[in-house]
Structure 1
């Protein structure tokens, strides 16, 4: 029997991953906010990427609903991809656990470290599986009302090396999203978190990602956050995995290079669509709760658990929560705020 994929939290990442699976002929059910579900039902979905892939999916290619209970109706065995923000994990996992059969796999395609524990607590009868999404997706609405989920950066999906993930490995490969199965997903997630520390920098810079990364001032801010995070991880006995082109310990050094050298050495990091921004920028400007507690906040919690402090990450978390209206911060201004006592 073909696998039925249920995408819970069909925002940018969920629409892109689910759309690629649907384009490959897989059964896909999107669980989304009513506005997005209506757009999917009424106009379909375009999935594309910076490498030239593009598929326009008609509404008949998938199912779109706005509740988990609707997605579970009929009792068909499913593989759930949880794509909500971290703050919504407990609620979403509780709904999945209540609606789906015991043993249903839930693969977390979310930022942060703590979502696996949240899923296990809220849905103890399901199989909580760790995953990692390395790329940025931009979700836009065209003049015709059709959504486009465009992958704007590169990278390979990771998933826990588990029998449930191995069972869908071929489906992801057919969809052009091959899974890299890893035995130590905690190390992968800590490695990804280091890269995600750029999300708040980008959000407060108010610039597209590529433009921000080409600014030495903003790179110094990111390097400071990463240096502090790496020090806390080392003292906590955590060795983050290499999930990008460079080992974690070298990334702050590369970020501090002059822009001419950085742009050559970090060419793969700069392979970004010119319009791409972090989702945190979208959240701040839409007045939504951000994921800062799952990023800088995770470093602060790890430090506290080991009798340490992480003042720079704490300062960044506070600044995201209280950004001072729509003000854009320069790199030197941000760096000064991170170093304030």
Structure 2
């Protein structure tokens, strides 16, 4: 795949989309960002700042960015379409790609959850659609800060389904490590296990590093992971390793005393102190969360397998209530998430 000639459309210039698109543009790739009108106006006026946990802090001037709110303008000339919208917008983006992108364009889902690539394929019959996984957190600058800044606050390589020669090389640039993987189903289910923590960050209002450093919260995450693993085992799903650990070990590691966890789980704790979760950000902004694609996916699998998952169901219910309240994070203590359960 010749790098210079390929146009990459970022289908959803939110936090992940702007970070990925910014890194690609800084590396000289031909990138067009499909953004909401508000984001388009901000990027056209002030440009984009891209920083990361490794100390990079780079800026793209407005004239160095190609950004539009017009789906036809963004998608019509694209060779690669990176889908970075939230899961709730997958069907809408699928329709836009079907209407405006060329049939030979390669579509890559860089979204949370385990089913978005399949949902894209269902609406894009006959097209090449690949699953992908983004492992890191992006912290977006506060409203009003200029230029718009996207900060990668944790580590990890983006994984893309194998099948298109040269694709990883096209996307693998400074600040954005990308490699292919032959078993994306395992990767996505493995990532979902750790993404079950997104809801706990959202419910607590704590930064991710602070929340993970507290055994009371880790025990809630461990309980959810245990329920998910039981459902996966019953359905014959084998998730990939997480931070170098076999998934079956995660509940035990998460349940360790704080001092021991800090020593043994350094990779998990390699997180910028300001990082939270996209689900926390959604609650703060009064938007629907991806709880249905995360805890909801586990509950659907558990129901299919006839396996109980009461803790996961309780977490989902609390997030749904916070969505309805539209007051941001409820700032719950761990005991409020697991009433009647022992945390220690």
TM-score (norm 2): 0.93
Q: Which residue of 2 aligns with 1:40?
A: 43
How far, CA to CA, are the matches of 1:321 and 1:5 in structure 2? 35
Q: Which residue of 2 aligns with 1:2?
A: 5
Contact 1:97 1:126 in 2 (8 A): no
Secondary structure in 1 matching 2:292: helix
Distance 1:178-1:275 versus aligned 2 partners, 3 A rule: closer
Distance 1:68-1:243 versus aligned 2 partners, 3 A rule: farther
Unaligned runs of 5+ in 1: none
Q: Which residue of 2 aligns with 1:319?
A: 318
Aligned length: 335
Contact 2:230 2:307 in 1 (8 A): no
Unaligned runs of 5+ in 2: none
- How big is the shift at 1:141? 4.7
Contact 2:35 2:67 in 1 (8 A): yes
Contact 1:3 1:168 in 2 (8 A): no
1:185-204 CA-partner distances (Å, limit 9, x unpaired): 00000000001000001100
1:94 aligns to 2:89 (yes or no): no
How far, CA to CA, are the matches of 1:280 and 1:259 in structure 2? 25
Secondary structure in 2 matching 1:294: coil
Q: Which residue of 2 aligns with 1:81?
A: 82
How far, CA to CA, are the matches of 1:296 and 1:144 in structure 2? 33
Distance 1:71-1:195 versus aligned 2 partners, 3 A rule: same
- How big is the shift at 1:327? 2.7
- How big is the shift at 1:14? 0.6
Secondary structure in 1 matching 2:120: helix
- How big is the shift at 1:79? 0.3
- How big is the shift at 1:93? 1.1
From 62, 66, 73, the counterpart of 1:59:
62
Structure 1 residue runs of 4+, over 3 Å off? 141-144
Contact 2:156 2:177 in 1 (8 A): no
- How big is the shift at 1:11? 0.7
Distance 1:337-1:3 versus aligned 2 partners, 3 A rule: farther
TM-score (norm 1): 0.94
How far, CA to CA, are the matches of 2:97 and 2:195 in structure 1? 27
Secondary structure in 2 matching 1:187: helix
Distance 1:95-1:253 versus aligned 2 partners, 3 A rule: same
RMSD: 1.7
- How big is the shift at 1:142? 7.3
1:245-283 CA-partner distances (Å, limit 9, x unpaired): 311111111111110111111111111111110010110
Distance 1:12-1:338 versus aligned 2 partners, 3 A rule: farther
How far, CA to CA, are the matches of 1:249 and 1:332 in structure 2? 25
Distance 1:243-1:184 versus aligned 2 partners, 3 A rule: same
Matches within 5 A, 1:224-239: 224-239=223-238
Q: Which residue of 1 aligns with 2:210?
A: 211
Secondary structure in 2 matching 1:263: helix
Matches within 5 A, 1:156-171: 156-163=157-164, 166-171=165-170
Distance 1:248-1:61 versus aligned 2 partners, 3 A rule: same
